[in-house]
Amino acid sequence: MLALHAVTLLGLLVTASGLQCPKCLPWQGNCRDEVETCRLGQNFCVVQDLYVNPVMTSAMCVGGMALHSCGLLSRDVAVRLSGNSFCCTTDLCTNKSYASMPIPPGRPVCQSCVGSATACGPNSLTSPCPNSQDLCLQLSRHVLPGEEGDAVYKACGEQGPPEELLAMAVGPDLAYVHVQRCHGVGCNNGSFVKVPRGKPNGKLCYSCQETGAGECNNEQLRPMTCMGAMDQCLEVQTTDWYHPVTLLRGYASTDLCRSWELLGRLLLPADTLVHCCSGSLCNHAASCRDPLPLLLLPLVFLLLLVGAWSCAGGGNPGIRVHVQGPEDPGSWDMHTHKHRTKLSRIHTDT
């Protein structure tokens, strides 16, 4: 506790003295050795290297920041956004291992930035990628109201389609991760625009967001018209197998519904289950029912057959199953256990 107070006090003192922080690192492309004076509330020089392994790597953030920026937001940790941070409190301080980082020959070079659409403009700093097969990537994220995490990223990334849209709508609110990939030096230099909902696509889905007041109970569900590329009904639940709780219902794009899609965790925490279905109004409670009854159906059918066999042994109507013999076609009577003349393939003996 004393150490935390000491760090906080040190940050306040540094802020009062006008801390000078570099805006880039010497090995980054487009670096002009610019320096910024920390604003009120910015009390640390920070270098961060963020990634969502293996989808996105080398998203660099350099400059003056507040104390809480030395760590990741709790939501970002939940969605498996990882990173390395270096924070210091003296003028022009940088981590020497970052400052002297060599550029590997033959590696792709991409723009690298974390922040807002304004800060990550077309002339952002560039950094070499860790893997020779990487593409350049730019990603924008917009989360539901009340949640932290709105941000844009320019970085290196794994191979993938030129564009992906992981989107979901809950009531009037839209959340999405929009990804664009390209191949070429610094080619991820595009601007970021908000993704529109689009036009009605003919589907209907139930929509709710649970706050503890029973908004996602079946009696309170309301249908919504699906828009644009979001043509899948969505239900997100907790991972409690015996007592799952529905957190939200809405509609989503196909890209978000892919079970292997790691980028979907930038919208939904890792400790949730995502259920998607393609029929209108299919995201009600029954769509996520326990599969155990279905697994028991073969056992129930077997028990019915055993019951029929028992009835046959007690003088009740028997079941005759046709058996084709090599010499004398006929049928076997389960009731009398005698061979009979063939009458029909399967019928009831009275």
Enumerate domains of the chain plus CATH numbers: 1-195 (2.10.60.10), 199-289 (2.10.60.10), 297-349 (no CATH)
pLDDT at 304: 63
- Which residues does the chain have with pLDDT short of 70? 1-17, 69, 71-80, 95-97, 100-103, 149-150, 259-261, 285-350
pLDDT at 307: 59
For the chain, the straight-line distance linking the first and the last C-alpha, in angstroms and rounded, comes to 88
Distance CA 145, CA 148 (A): 8
Sign of CA dihedral 116, 122, 123, 127: positive
What predicted TM-score, i.e. pTM, was given to this entire model? 0.70
Secondary structure class of 219 (helix, strand, coil): helix
pLDDT at 290: 43
Residues in contact with 132: Cβ distance below 8 Å, sequence separation at least 6, in sequence order: 106, 107, 108
